[in-house]
Chains A and B, each alone.
Chain A
Amino acid sequence: MKLKTWRKLSVVAALAVLAAGCESFTGSSSHYANSLFAYLYPNKAGHVDQPTMPVLSLPLRVGVTFVPPARSGDRRFQYDGDDEALTEDVKMQLLKQVSSQFKSCPLVSSIDLIPSAYLTPGGGFENLDQIRALYGVDVMVLLSYDQVQFNDKGLLTLSYWTIVGAYVVQGEKNDTRTMLDAAVYDLASRQLLFRAPGFGNVKGSSTPVNLSEQLRHDSERGFDQAATNLTANLTVALTDFRQRVKDSPNQYKIVDKPGYTGAGAFGGLELAGVCGLGICLLWTRRQRAH
């Protein structure tokens, strides 16, 4: 091989190494999210709903869905990913996981998993009223998420200079932080009944060749973790909500509709009254015996 050819090859190799080196030491991040606020109040930053008393017709029909991404024109809620973090089948799996909490509640008669394709971006409560009419649901669980994926380079990225290292050495450090939020709305009164968050944090590493696949895998694991955490938090929030309904009858009105579960009950005072009756009986018997 001629000297001129060797020189050309050397220059190309040097440029490749330099380019690889430059890329290797810059971290990156991506942000995927949808916003409940952007869905419920599109272009209505100053909108405030008048507070009304939620009337809960028991048993409740509950709808569970993911909030759609923000409208393309709405710059307030534009993110890098534009709702690419979740595919529809993953969303349905997450909806099933979250809805399991409501199935165990005897005051819930049915749960409908509503595909997010049925929701219009920025549709607001008008869109939810359409869903209400379509599915006949009383209460809607709106799930929103926020996921950030950080990709950093470690010392091992030096091995990428060998080209082979880029295929075998896991020098990419990935950090995926996820938040899922469930907001439970009474559709008739448009009141937020309660909410619960769920968090997930997945750390991992990968080769640069395998990076996008690994990030996708981490993203799914992050959502899975957040959904598990959300389910636990939802149980607590649901219990708190029941207690609030019990303690504040002037904040929530409960009405029955066909198919409700009902029971009578006694309280401590009634029990005390019956105990008093028992004592009276014993006393009169003793008097009679004397």
Chain B
Amino acid sequence: MPVCTLLMVGGTLLVAAFPGWANGLRYDRQAILAGQVWRLFTGHGVHFSPSHLLFDTLVLGLAGWMIEVRRVAGFGWLCLLAPWVINLALLICAPDLRYGGGLSGLATCALVFLALDGLADPSAWRWACWLTLLGVGGKILWEMQTGHLLLATIDPGTAVVCTASHLAGAVTGLISYSLSTSVRSSARSGSLCAATRQSWVLGRAKACCNHFRAAGRLPSRHS
């Protein structure tokens, strides 16, 4: 059961079901700077049109489902922390953005996270992941260059294109995966160290015991 994905998508649909909540939850630069920091997280759940909501939730839903099916470690942490990081990046790098919303940044982050994890896979899945990474990278480069979305449009009556959210999502996905990998490897290496340390301590203790036994300060094993 993809619990994290269901929670994220469910939360977004809940926000969409109560449009009155949007004002209190959306990304609002001035409100965030005034202390309403929860908007950094909840802003992702606010969408500006039904099609915006539909595509964003479907892409995040599918990406999240694939991550959870593959049991990629750290996705729970990603869902918990990446929304803050993405919107914090927008807060710093896009000072002109007054209001924002949408899951697309987080969905891009999840896609990059999934694709990076799949690169080590021995099966054909690896090539699909390479293709995804190249596609996401090319798309973001094109968007940054032109200022338009490559394959989608936003209803001009609702909001304007903010390509920085996809870039922030992709970079967050990359950092998240790197952190997740290093944490895993350090955990592994950390346990090795502990085992080594333990064995060294035991070894030293054994040597000390033998030394004291030889000196006659400790009774011999046989006695």
Contact with A along B162-178 (1 / 0, CB 8 A): 11111001000000000
Q: Could you write out 19 A-B pairs with CB less than 8 Å apart?
A: A107-B159, A246-B156, A249-B148, A260-B96, A261-B48, A261-B160, A262-B94, A262-B97, A262-B99, A262-B160, A262-B164, A263-B48, A264-B149, A270-B59, A275-B62, A278-B62, A284-B128, A287-B123, A288-B123
Q: CA A266 – CA B139 in complex, angstroms?
A: 11
CA distance A270 to B125 in the complex (A): 18
The answer to whether residues A106 and B157 also contact, given A261-B100, A262-B165, A264-B149 and a CB cut-off of 8 A, is yes
Contact mask B94-106 → A, CB, 8 Å, 1/0? 1111111110110
Stretch at the interface among A33-41, A215-223, A251-259: A251-259
Q: Which one of B62, B101, B132 contacts A263 once the chains associate, using CB atoms below 8 Å? A: B101
User: Is B32 part of the binding interface, using a Cβ–Cβ cutoff of 8 Å?
Assistant: no
**Min CB–CB distance A269 → chain B (angstroms):** 4
Chain B: minimal CB distance from A275 (Å): 7
Chain B contact residues: helix, strand, loop or mixed: mixed
Binding site for A on B (CB under 8 A): 47-48, 52, 55-56, 58-59, 62-63, 65-66, 69-70, 94-102, 104-105, 107-108, 111, 114, 121, 123-125, 128, 132, 135, 139, 148-149, 151-166, 169
A35 to B65, CA, bound (A): 61
Q: Of A106, A249, A266, which is within 8 A of B59 by CB?
A: A266
A287: which B residues are within 8 A, CB to CB?
A: 123-124
A251 to chain B, nearest CB (A): 12
B152 & A267 in contact (Cβ 8 Å cutoff):
yes
Which residues of B are found within 8 Å of A258, using beta-carbon distances? 95-96, 98
Interface status of A271 (Cβ within 8 A of chain B): yes
Contact across chains for B160 and A256 when beta carbons are under 8 A apart: yes
Q: Which residues of A contact B158 (CB under 8 A)?
A: 106-107, 261, 263
Q: Which residue of A lies closest to B169 (CB)?
A: A264
Q: Contacts A262-B97, A274-B111: A267 and B153 contacting too (C-beta < 8 A)? A: yes
> When chains A and B are docked, how far (Å) is the Cα of A13 from the Cα of B194?
126
Q: Given A258-B96, A262-B97, A107–B156 Cβ distance below 8 Å?
A: yes
- The size bracket of the interface on A is 35 or more
Q: In the complex the two chains form, is A260's CB within 8 Å of B97's CB?
A: yes
Contact of B149 with A265 in the complex, beta carbons under 8 Å: yes
List B contacts of A260 (CB < 8 A): 96-99, 160
Residue of A nearest to B121 (CB): A284
Distance in angstroms from A240 CB to nearest chain B CB is 10
**Chain B nearest CB, measured from A185 CB (Å):** 18
- The CA of A258 and the CA of B160, in the complex, are separated in Å by 12
What is the CA–CA distance of A265 and B107 in the complex, to the nearest angstrom? 10
A270 partner, pick from B48, B65, B152, B156, beta carbons under 8 A:
B152
| A284 vs B70: C-alpha distance when bound (angstroms) | 11
Interface flag for A192 (CB, 8 Å): no
Residues of A within 8 A of B161 (CB): 262-265
Cα-based distance from A20 to B88 in the complex (angstroms): 82
| Most chain B CB inside 10 Å of its own CB: which residue of A59, A258, A269, A274 | A274
Interchain nearest-CB distance for B100 vs A (Å): 5
